C-alpha cells in the first residue's frame, strides 16, 4: 500500500513538472513571438516540450491536468490581452519600480550616457555574432607610425637607463628635450596643429614599448596623450582655444597636466569639494566674468613641471550672473596657466619607486575667466560628461598598454632566464613547478594582448567603449601584476636584488600605481563594469527607467510595451541557455573560418554568454536597485563578462594572425582559463544569490548538469613553457612590441645573448653528458674545458663555445654589488 502510494505520488509530481515545463516553453514562444524574433533554440525547445507533453502528460489525472492548463491559459490570456496585462501586471510593477528606483543625479546620468557599447553588448545579451567579430578590421599601423616606432621610439628607449633615472629622481635633461623635440607629447594632436596625428593603435604601441624600458618614462609619455588637455580640447574646445593651445602643446613649449583627484574626491571624483564661484572683476578697464576657484588636488601627474593645467571644479552662480536658474552649474573644466595668481604647484609626491613627476596642486581664489573654460561659456557644467567620454577612450589605451608591456617584458626575460639558469644539472624551466608558472605567464599575456588589440580595433572604428575600457583597465593591469609576480617567483634571489642589472624590480614595485589610478580596480570591478554594463548593454533597462521616470499619459503604455519585449528577451535567454547547456552549444553558428580546435571554444563562449545573460537579467528583475549594493555579486558578474571578452578576443586575434599552429597552446590556455573563470563566477553568483528558490531555478536553466570549471591541462602548459624558452615565431609574437636590445652589455640584452649562447653550445654539452664527462669538484670550469681541449675531447671551436656560454650565463644571472662606503 505504501509502495503504491509512493509510486502514484511520484508519477503525479513528475507529470506535474512536465506540464509546468511545457507551459513555460509555450510562454517562451508567446513572449518571443511578441518580440518578433524567434531564435532556433526557442523552436527546438518548443518542439521538445510539446513532444514531452504528448508522451508523458497522461501521468496525472484529468482534473489535475485541467487545473494546470487552466492556470496556464489564464496567465496567457492576461499576457496576451493588453488591457488586462496593463492592469494586473504592468501597472503594479511600474508603481513598485517608481517606489524602489533610486534617484539618478545629473552626473550619474552623464556617466551612464558616456561612451558607446560594442562587442560587450553582444556578450551581455547572450547571443554574440562571431562572424561580425572576426570581420572587425584589425588595428594596423600606418607606414608613418611604424617608422616612428622604429626610429624615435627605439632611439628614446636606447637613451633610457631606468636605474639611473630612479637614482636621480628624474629623467635626464637630454631625454626631456628629446621627448619635446620628437613630439612624444603630441601623439594624438592632429598634424594641422603641429602634432603627429597618430591612431590609438600607434599611441598604444608607443606606450607599450617605452613602458617596457622604463615605466617612469612611459607614464611621462602616456599622460599628455590620454586624459589630458589636448584630448579635451580636440573634442570640446573652441576654435580659439584649439588654435592657441594645441600648437604649443605639440611643439613642447607647454607641458600639460590634468587636476581631478583631491583629498575628498578619489574614486568618487564627482563628489569633489573644489569650487568656483562666478563673479565679475575689473581687468584693463573692462568687466570680466569668471570663476574664483579654490581647489586642493593631489596625485596629479606632471604637475611639478606643468605649464598649463586642466582644472576640474564645481561651478556656482549664486548671483545669477548667467541669467538665473539653478546656482549649481555642475562640474566644469578649464585650462589655467601655471603662473595664474593664487595657484600653487611644484611640490612632489613619491609614488613608490617611480620618479615620474607627480604632485599636488592648490588654488586660493584663482580667477578663471570664462574663455579659459574648455568650450567657453557653452562648456560650463559640461565637465563631467567631457571627462567620462574622454576616459571611455583614453582608459582603453594607456594603462592596458602599460600592463601588457610589463607582462611581455616579464615573459621575455623569464623565459630566457628559466632556460639559462640551471639547478640539479637541469634548466629550471624543466621543473614542472616552474613550467606551471611559465604557462600561466604566457597564457595570461596572450589573452591580455589580444584584449588590447581588439579594443584598439573598436577605437579605430570610432567607438568610445566605456564598459570595455573599464574591463581592459581592470583585467590588463591585474594580469600585469600577476605575471610580474610570477616572474619574480621564478627569478628568486636574482629578482629581489636591486641595481642596474635588475630588469624586474621597477615593474614589481610600481604595479600598485596602475592598479590604483583612473578608477581603483576594486571599485572598477564591483561598481563600474557590471553596473555601467547593465545600464548600457542591456537592451531594455534604460528604456524601462525612462518610462518609469516619465509622468505623461502614455508612460504606462510605453512601460508595458518595453516590459513585454523584456519578458520575451528573458524567456528567450532562458530557453537559449538551457538548450545550449544540454546540447553543448550545438545550435551555435560558428564562423566557417574556425578550425576544429577553435570551434569548441566558440560554442562554449556562446553557451556561457547565454547563461550570463539569463542570470544577469533575472538578477536585475528580482533585485532591482538593490543589486547596486550587492557589490560581491556585481563583482562576480564583472568577472564573468570580463573573461568572456578576454576569451573572444583571444579567438579573434588567433584568427587575425592567420591561425598559426605554434600559437595553439597559448590560445587553448587563454580560452580554457577564461571559460573556467566564467563558470566559477556564475556558480558563485548562484551560491550567494539572495533568493534560494530563484537560484535553484536559474541553476536548472543555465547549468542543469552543474558547474564543473576545469583549469587548462598540464600538457598545454608544457607546450607554452617550451615555446617561451626557445626562440621561434610563437615566442616572437608573444613578446612583440617591447624594446629588445641586441647589446650583450644591456640589462635585458645580456639575457637574450645568454639564451643564444646556451642554445649554441647545447649539442656539445649533450655529447659530453653522453660520454659521462662532468666537471670535477674543485676544478675551475675554464681549466676543465681547457683540459678537454688538450685531450682532444673538444675542438678549439667547441671549447670557445662552452667558455663563451659560461661567461654569458654568469653575466645574465649575476646581481649587483655595492660598496658600503659609497652610501
**C-alpha to C-alpha distances, 204 to 228, 281, 556, nearest whole angstrom:** 16, 44, 48
Contacts of the segment 791-798: beta carbons below 8 A, 24+ positions apart: 793/768, 794/764, 798/764
Yes or no: say if 698 and 618 are a contact pair by the CB < 8 Å rule.
yes
Q: What is the DSSP string of 743-784?
A: -TTSTTHHHHHHHHHHHHHHHHHHHHHHTT--PPTTS-HHHH
Yes or no: say if 397 and 200 are a contact pair by the CB < 8 Å rule.
yes
- Count CA atoms within 13 Å of residue 335 on its CB side: 27
- What's the CA gap between 657 and 671, in Å, rounded? 16
- What's the CA gap between 624 and 382, in Å, rounded? 29
**Residue 730 cell numbers, joined:** 610563437
**C-alpha to C-alpha distances, 77 to 142, 474, 555, 629, 701, nearest whole angstrom:** 61, 48, 23, 37, 25
Q: The cell 508603481 sits on which residue?
A: 95
Q: Give the closest residue to 471 by CA, choosing from 527, 529, 513, 517.
A: 529
- What's the CA gap between 327 and 279, in Å, rounded? 12
- What's the CA gap between 75 and 451, in Å, rounded? 46
Dihedral of CA atoms 269, 270, 275, 277 in degrees, nearest 10, equals 150
> Which listed residue (518, 544, 677, 805) is catalytic?
518
> Is residue 219 classed as helix, strand or coil in its secondary structure?
helix
41 given a catalytic annotation: no
Number of C-beta neighbours around residue 151 at 10 A: 11
- What's the CA gap between 319 and 199, in Å, rounded? 45
Any residues with CB less than 8 A from the CB of 591 and at least 6 apart, and which? Answer: 130, 131, 134, 602, 655
Contacts of the segment 171-175: beta carbons below 8 A, 24+ positions apart: 171/216, 171/217, 171/220, 171/355, 175/217
Yes or no: say if 367 and 361 are a contact pair by the CB < 8 Å rule.
no
Yes or no: say if 162 and 504 are a contact pair by the CB < 8 Å rule.
no
Yes or no: say if 336 and 348 are a contact pair by the CB < 8 Å rule.
no
DSSP state of 102: P
Q: Give the closest residue to 123 by CA, choosing from 112, 113, 133, 137.
A: 133
> What b/e sequence results for 384-395 when a residue is b if at least 16 CB atoms lie within 10 Å of its CB, and e otherwise?
bbbbbbbbbbbb
Q: State whether the Cα torsion 284-290-292-296 is positive or negative.
A: negative
**Residue 209 cell numbers, joined:** 614599448
Q: Give the closest residue to 351 by CA, choosing from 513, 168, 219, 503.
A: 513
Q: Give the closest residue to 354 by CA, choosing from 480, 488, 514, 225.
A: 514
Element (H, E) at 316: strand 308-316
**Residue 99 cell numbers, joined:** 517606489
What backbone phi and psi angles, to 5 degrees, belong to 310? -80, 125
Yes or no: say if 501 and 814 are a contact pair by the CB < 8 Å rule.
yes
Q: Give the closest residue to 214 by CA, choosing from 141, 164, 250.
A: 164
Catalytic residues: 518
Amino acid at each position: 500500500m505504501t509502495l503504491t502510494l509512493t509510486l502514484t505520488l511520484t508519477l503525479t509530481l513528475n507529470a506535474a513538472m512536465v506540464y509546468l515545463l511545457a507551459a513555460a516553453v509555450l510562454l517562451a514562444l508567446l513572449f518571443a513571438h511578441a518580440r518578433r524574433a524567434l531564435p532556433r533554440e526557442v523552436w527546438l525547445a518548443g518542439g521538445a516540450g510539446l513532444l514531452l507533453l504528448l508522451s508523458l502528460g497522461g501521468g496525472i489525472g484529468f482534473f489535475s491536468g485541467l487545473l494546470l492548463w487552466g492556470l496556464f491559459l489564464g496567465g496567457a490570456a492576461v499576457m496576451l490581452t493588453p488591457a488586462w496585462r496593463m492592469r494586473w501586471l504592468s501597472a503594479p510593477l511600474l508603481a513598485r519600480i517608481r517606489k524602489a528606483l533610486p534617484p539618478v543625479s545629473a552626473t550619474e546620468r552623464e556617466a551612464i550616457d558616456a561612451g558607446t557599447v560594442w562587442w560587450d553588448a553582444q556578450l551581455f545579451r547572450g547571443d554574440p555574432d562571431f562572424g561580425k567579430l572576426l570581420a572587425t578590421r584589425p588595428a594596423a599601423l600606418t607606414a608613418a607610425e611604424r617608422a616612428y616606432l622604429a626610429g624615435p621610439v627605439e632611439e628614446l628607449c636606447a637613451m633610457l637607463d631606468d636605474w639611473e633615472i630612479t637614482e636621480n629622481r628624474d629623467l635626464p635633461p637630454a631625454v626631456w628635450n628629446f621627448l619635446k623635440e620628437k613630439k612624444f607629447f603630441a601623439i594624438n594632436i592632429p598634424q594641422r596643429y603641429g602634432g603627429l596625428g597618430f591612431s590609438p593603435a600607434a599611441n598604444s604601441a608607443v606606450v607599450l614599448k617605452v613602458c617596457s624600458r622604463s615605466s617612469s618614462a612611459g607614464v611621462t609619455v602616456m599622460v599628455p596623450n590620454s586624459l589630458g588637455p589636448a584630448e579635451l580640447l580636440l573634442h570640446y574646445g573652441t576654435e580659439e582655444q584649439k588654435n592657441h593651445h594645441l600648437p604649443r602643446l605639440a611643439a613642447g613649449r607647454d607641458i600639460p597636466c590634468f587636476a581631478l583627484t583631491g583629498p575628498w574626491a578619489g574614486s568618487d571624483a564627482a563628489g569633489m569639494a573644489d569650487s568656483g564661484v562666478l563673479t565679475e572683476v575689473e581687468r584693463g578697464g573692462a568687466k570680466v566674468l569668471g570663476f574664483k576657484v579654490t581647489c586642493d588636488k593631489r596625485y596629479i601627474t606632471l604637475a611639478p613641471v606643468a605649464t598649463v593645467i586642466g582644472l576640474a571644479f564645481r561651478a556656482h552662480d549664486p548671483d545669477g550672473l548667467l541669467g538665473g536658474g539653478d546656482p549649481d552649474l555642475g562640474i566644469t573644466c578649464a585650462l589655467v596657466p601655471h603662473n595664474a595668481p593664487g595657484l600653487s604647484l611644484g611640490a612632489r609626491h613619491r609614488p613608490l619607486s617611480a620618479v615620474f613627476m607627480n604632485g599636488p596642486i592648490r588654488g586660493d581664489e584663482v580667477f578663471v575667466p570664462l574663455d579659459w573654460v574648455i568650450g567657453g561659456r557653452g562648456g560650463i557644467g559640461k565637465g563631467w560628461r567631457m571627462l567620462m567620454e574622454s576616459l571611455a577612450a583614453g582608459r582603453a589605451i594607456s594603462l592596458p598598454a602599460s600592463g601588457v608591456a610589463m607582462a611581455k617584458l616579464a615573459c621575455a626575460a623569464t623565459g630566457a632566464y628559466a632556460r639559462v639558469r640551471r639547478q640539479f644539472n637541469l634548466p629550471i624551466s624543466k621543473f614542472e613547478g616552474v613550467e606551471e608558472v611559465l604557462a600561466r605567464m604566457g597564457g595570461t599575456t596572450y589573452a591580455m594582448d589580444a584584449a588590447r588589440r581588439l579594443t584598439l580595433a573598436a577605437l579605430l572604428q570610432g567607438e568610445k567603449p566605456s564598459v570595455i575600457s573599464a574591463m581592459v583597465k581592470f583585467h590588463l593591469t591585474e594580469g600585469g601584476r600577476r605575471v610580474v609576480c610570477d616572474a619574480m617567483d621564478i627569478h628568486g634571489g636574482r629578482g629581489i636584488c636591486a641595481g642596474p642589472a635588475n630588469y624586474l624590480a621597477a615593474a614589481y614595485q610600481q604595479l600598485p600605481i596602475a592598479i590604483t589610478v583612473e578608477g581603483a580596480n576594486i571599485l572598477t570591478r564591483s561598481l563600474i563594469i557590471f553596473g555601467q554594463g547593465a545600464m548600457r548593454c542591456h537592451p531594455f533597462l534604460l528604456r524601462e527607467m525612462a518610462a518609469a521616470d516619465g509622468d505623461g499619459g502614455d508612460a504606462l503604455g510605453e512601460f508595458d510595451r518595453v516590459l513585454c519585449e523584456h519578458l520575451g528577451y528573458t524567456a528567450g535567454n532562458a530557453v537559449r541557455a538551457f538548450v545550449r547547456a544540454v546540447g553543448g552549444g550545438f545550435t551555435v553558428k560558428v564562423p566557417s573560418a574556425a578550425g576544429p580546435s577553435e570551434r569548441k571554444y566558440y560554442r562554449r563562449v556562446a553557451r556561457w554568454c547565454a547563461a550570463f545573460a539569463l542570470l544577469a537579467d533575472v538578477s536585475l528583475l528580482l533585485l532591482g536597485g538593490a543589486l547596486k549594493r550587492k557589490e560581491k555579486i556585481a563583482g562576480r558578474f564583472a568577472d564573468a563578462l570580463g573573461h568572456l571578452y578576454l576569451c573572444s578576443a583571444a579567438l579573434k586575434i588567433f584568427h587575425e594572425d592567420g591561425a598559426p599552429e605554434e600559437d595553439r597552446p597559448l590560445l587553448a590556455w587563454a580560452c580554457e582559463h577564461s571559460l573556467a573563470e566564467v563558470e566559477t563566477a556564475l556558480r558563485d553568483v548562484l551560491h550567494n544569490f539572495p533568493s534560494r528558490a530563484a537560484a535553484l531555478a536559474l541553476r536548472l536553466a543555465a547549468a542543469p548538469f552543474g558547474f564543473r570549471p576545469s583549469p587548462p591541462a598540464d600538457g598545454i602548459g608544457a607546450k607554452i613553457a617550451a615555446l617561451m624558452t626557445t626562440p621561434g615565431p610563437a615566442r616572437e609574437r608573444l613578446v612583440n612590441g617591447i624594446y629588445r636590445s641586441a647589446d650583450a652589455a644591456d640589462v635585458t640584452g645580456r639575457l637574450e645573448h645568454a639564451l643564444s649562447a646556451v642554445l649554441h653550445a647545447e649539442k656539445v654539452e649533450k655529447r659530453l653528458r653522453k660520454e659521462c664527462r662532468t666537471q670535477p669538484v674543485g676544478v675551475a670550469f675554464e681549466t676543465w674545458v681547457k683540459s678537454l681541449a688538450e685531450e682532444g675531447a673538444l675542438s678549439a671551436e667547441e671549447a670557445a663555445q662552452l667558455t663563451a656560454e659560461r661567461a654569458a650565463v654568469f653575466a645574465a644571472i649575476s646581481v649587483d654589488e655595492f660598496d658600503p662606503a659609497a652610501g
